[in-house]
Amino acid sequence: MSSKFKVKLAFNENKHFFNGFFNDIPFVIEANLKELCKFYDFDLLKIELFSEEGLDWVGLFFHKTIDGKVYIFSGGRFGFSGFMPKNHKYSVSSYLPLIEDQLDKIKMGSCSLALSFLADHAKESAAIWQTSSISYLIADTDESVDQDGLCFKKAKTRSNLSRSLKKAKKQGFLCKEVMDYESFESWHKHCHLPRIKELNGKEWDFELLLNCISNGSASLVCVFDHQDNILGGCYIFKSRLVLEFFMMSTPRENQILGVNSILIEHLYLMAKREGISYINWQASNPPEGPLVKFKKDWNAKNHTFNIYNKSFSNSLDKSFIETNFKDCYIFPFSELKK
């Protein structure tokens, strides 16, 4: 192993644990991580990667110990933390052998280390650990909004998007960012739960989302009618660089009124006004289809980020993950036995 590399793991959160640039993306913000750790019973790990030029990468990760084995991972259904580039002189893959040497000193179960989509993934190699990838759909704020409003093609020409937006504006719907309990409860009951039922999806826990508003960087943007009824809304996380569309929930009967269109326009204008560079629509499952087309119509483009995975245990299987790691990505599911 080249002596020019050094890896530092910090399992204890001392007063310098969050020093640096941990406001760039929502899931490296201390307050958001604390709420996730409290809800899911996780702890935090910081990994710093050094070259001869100094600090090259710094990353925040979750870890949990089960039956004496440590499982390290970057996130899951709720979003991803991971390595953020500092100098970015060398690829994270260059450091993986040294990271593995450090982890061999611990009784490990598995390790899954993501890189932020802000990193240059072209430098990375998949030849060392098992590499998987996740694709986010992300809009560049400056390419989507100018001083006159939305400026991308679908918004400026005749399209389903522009027609839907026009329909909503004719009805005088009002968008507001809210953080009070009553508005959140109303949206959760009348929009989120009905929409999840329509999709046959998995609802988000009320208390987790509420606590991320109270203590983290989350908020809720809702669309109101003239009677002050909430017709739909989007639960968001904000950071210095990214506005995260965490959960957009509008019942189908309100979507046909153009509610989502006026909601999204409001969010794009918010990102521009607050100097946020990227609008993250997150991943789509399946990765192709009407939902992906809808996001791309709003000027979102694919950004793929790598996740380096290493299993240290032959006992890792799908049942174990489902039982112990709700909502988490601790190893590629497709590679595990049932």
For residue 273, being part of any structural domain is answered with: yes
pLDDT at res. 21: 65
Question: Is residue 290 located within the same domain as residue 322?
Answer: no
Residue 286 has pLDDT above 70, yes or no: no
CATH of the domain at 59: 3.40.630
Tens digits of residue pLDDT in 110-143: 999 999 988 888 889 888 899 998 899 999 999 9
Whose CA is closest to 83, among 99, 60, 66?
60
User: Domain count of the chain?
Assistant: 2
Question: Is residue 19 located within the same domain as residue 123?
Answer: yes
Domain range enclosing 196: 153-298
Question: Is residue 315 located within the same domain as residue 273?
Answer: no
CATH of the domain at 184: 3.40.630.30
Task: Give 269 or 336, the one with higher predicted confidence.
Answer: 269
Question: Is residue 170 located within the same domain as residue 289?
Answer: yes
Query: Which of the four pLDDT bands, split at 50, 70 and 90, describes residue 218?
Result: very high
For residue 143, being part of any structural domain is answered with: no
Question: Is residue 108 located within the same domain as residue 228?
Answer: no
Q: What is the pTM of this model?
A: 0.93
Question: Is residue 322 located within the same domain as residue 200?
Answer: no
Question: Is residue 70 located within the same domain as residue 190?
Answer: no
Count Cβ atoms within 10 A of the Cβ of residue 167 and give its class: 0-12 exposed, 13-18 middle, 19 or more buried.
Answer: middle
Question: Is residue 173 located within the same domain as residue 290?
Answer: yes
Residue 2 has pLDDT above 70, yes or no: no
Question: Is residue 91 located within the same domain as residue 16?
Answer: yes
Q: Which residues contact 80 (CB under 8 A, 6 or more apart)?
A: 27, 74, 114, 116, 134, 305, 329
Tens digits of residue pLDDT in 228-283: 999 999 999 999 999 999 999 999 999 999 999 999 999 999 999 999 999 999 98
Question: Is residue 18 located within the same domain as residue 73?
Answer: yes
The mean pLDDT value of the chain amounts to: 92
Question: Is residue 177 located within the same domain as residue 243?
Answer: yes
Question: Is residue 215 located within the same domain as residue 276?
Answer: yes
For residue 216, being part of any structural domain is answered with: yes
